[in-house]
């Protein structure tokens, strides 16, 4: 009887609570007190969100276990394919991390009203490099979206790594090899740039400036390194005709474009715009780096900064790279926006006869 009464009271209590809850919801009201009291004991301890999190952790754990076994199988049976697979997954992690960093930088620029030219050097370099990497990596990302399409990406990685992939997806050996190859292509255009300057010097009416420009070209061609003062002595020629960024001949622009790894196979108007954009970007980078100081860069950052500015830094020691970059910044910090064309030609002036060996300490 007592058991019956207890069960009856329990059912009546549940009925009363459910009625109250239904009435509240029907009237558009919701009482936290009724909501809490109306839950069963099991639901109080195990909410749906906790259950979902538990299932998510279980699935993630199982996925990691299966993935680890799969990677171990590839490493034992197909070591070369495993290297590609490992490089591929690591590359995407680095790319996504860069995307997060860029998102944070842009959010800071938007919320605090920071202009691009006022960014710290590392953030400015991150935006510059990510934009270039994204343009090249976008086809790869699109190809890998469909199911099982990543195997096609592996094939492309194997046969065309330099042409289709960004450095995120290169092995350490490939990064050294491809940089040397790219630099060798860039060096091939040093001579045409100098010959173009010699030809352009005939248009200079000022005899003294004409002589200085010819002497500068002859010194570089002879294998000597010009001084910063000798380069700055002809700076006025690069702010207007005949060598200003918007006043150069189309032929000279085509000679200079490969120094920045830009294609010369475009109409002259487009080549001029791209050169102007890249040159100003490089000048702003130099100013940000001058504020930071080259001594603040890590060894890898230092080599990357030299490589971007035309130096084959892998063949030089750290001290040599730092000295060269300091000289570059000394010249760059003296230039105005209108003289940015001279900065592009300094890729030839300052790096053509740079040392190619030495200690790496």
Q: Give 125-174 pLDDT, tens digit per residue.
A: 999 999 998 888 787 778 777 877 777 777 777 788 888 888 988 888 88
Asked whether residue 111 is domain-assigned, the answer is yes
**pLDDT value of position 108:** 93
**pLDDT value of position 92:** 84
- 234/149 same-domain check: no
Q: Give 91-108 pLDDT, tens digit per residue.
A: 888 989 999 999 999 999
- Domain with 146, as residue range(s), is 65-169
- 139/232 same-domain check: no
| More confidently predicted of 90 and 198 | 198
Asked whether residue 108 is domain-assigned, the answer is yes
Domain boundary among 137, 169, 201: 169
- 193/339 same-domain check: yes
- 195/80 same-domain check: no
Instruction: Report how many domains make up the chain.
Output: 2
Average pLDDT, the chain: 82
| More confidently predicted of 338 and 21 | 338
| More confidently predicted of 202 and 147 | 202
Q: How large a percentage of the chain has pLDDT more than 70?
A: 78
Least confident interval from 17-21, 99-103, 159-163, 317-321: 17-21
Can you tell me the mean pLDDT for 343-355?
Answer: 93
- 103/223 same-domain check: no
- 328/229 same-domain check: yes
- 346/198 same-domain check: yes
- 156/248 same-domain check: no
Three-class SS string for the chain?
CHHHHHHHHHHHHHHHHHHHHHHHHHCCCCCHHHHHHCCCHHHHHCCHHHHHHHHHHHHHHHHHHHHHHHHHHHHHHCHHHHHHHHHHHHHHHHHHHHHHHHHHHHHHHHHHCCCHHHCCHHHHHHHHHHHHHHHHHHHHHHHCCCCCCHHHHHHHHHHCHHHHCCHHHCCHHHHHHHHHHHHHHHHCCHHHHHHHHHHHHHHCCCHHHHHHHHHHHHHHHCCCCCCHHHHHCCHHHHCCCCCCCCCCCHHHHHHHHHHHCCCCCCCHHHHHHHHHHHHHHHHHHHHHHHHHCHHHCCHHHHHHHHHHCCCCHHHCCHHHHHHHHHHHHHHHCCCCHHHHHHHHHHHHHHHCCCCCCCCCC
**pLDDT value of position 50:** 61
Q: Give 52-74 pLDDT, tens digit per residue.
A: 667 767 666 765 776 676 667 66
Can you tell me the mean pLDDT for 244-248?
Answer: 93
């Amino acid at each position: 009887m007592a058991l019956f009464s207890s069960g009856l009271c329990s059912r009546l209590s549940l009925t009363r609570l459910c009625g109250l809850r239904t009435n509240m919801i029907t009237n558009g009201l919701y009482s936290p007190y009724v909501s809490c009291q109306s839950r069963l004991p099991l639901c109080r301890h195990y909410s749906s969100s906790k259950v979902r999190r538990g299932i998510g952790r279980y699935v993630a754990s199982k996925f990691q276990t299966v993935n680890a076994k799969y990677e171990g199988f590839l490493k034992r049976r197909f070591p070369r394919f495993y290297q590609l697979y490992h490089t591929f997954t690591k590359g995407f992690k680095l790319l996504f991390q860069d995307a997060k960093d860029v998102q944070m930088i842009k959010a800071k620029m938007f919320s605090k009203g920071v202009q691009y030219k006022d960014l710290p050097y590392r953030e400015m370099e991150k935006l510059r490099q990510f934009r270039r990497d994204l343009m090249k990596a976008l086809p790869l990302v699109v190809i890998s979206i469909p199911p099982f399409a990543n195997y096609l990406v592996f094939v492309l990685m194997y046969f065309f790594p330099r042409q289709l992939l960004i450095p995120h997806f290169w092995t350490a050996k490939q990064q050294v090899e491809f940089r040397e190859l790219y630099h060798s292509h860039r060096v091939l255009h040093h001579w045409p740039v100098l010959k173009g300057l010699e030809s352009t010097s005939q248009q200079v009416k000022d005899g003294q400036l004409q002589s200085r420009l010819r002497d500068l070209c002859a010194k570089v061609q002879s294998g000597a390194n010009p001084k910063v003062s000798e380069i700055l002595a002809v700076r006025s020629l690069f702010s207007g005709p005949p060598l200003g960024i918007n006043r150069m001949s189309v032929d000279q622009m085509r000679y200079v474009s490969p120094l920045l790894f830009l294609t010369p196979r475009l109409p002259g108007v487009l080549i001029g715009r791209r050169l102007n954009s890249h040159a100003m970007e490089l000048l702003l980078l130099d100013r940000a780096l001058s504020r930071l100081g080259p001594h603040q860069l890590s060894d890898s950052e230092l080599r990357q900064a030299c490589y971007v500015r035309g130096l084959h830094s892998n063949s030089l020691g750290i001290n040599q790279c730092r000295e060269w970059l300091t000289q570059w910044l000394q010249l760059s910090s003296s230039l105005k926006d209108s003289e940015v064309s001279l900065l592009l030609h300094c890729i030839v002036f300052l790096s053509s006869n740079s040392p190619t060996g030495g200690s790496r300490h």
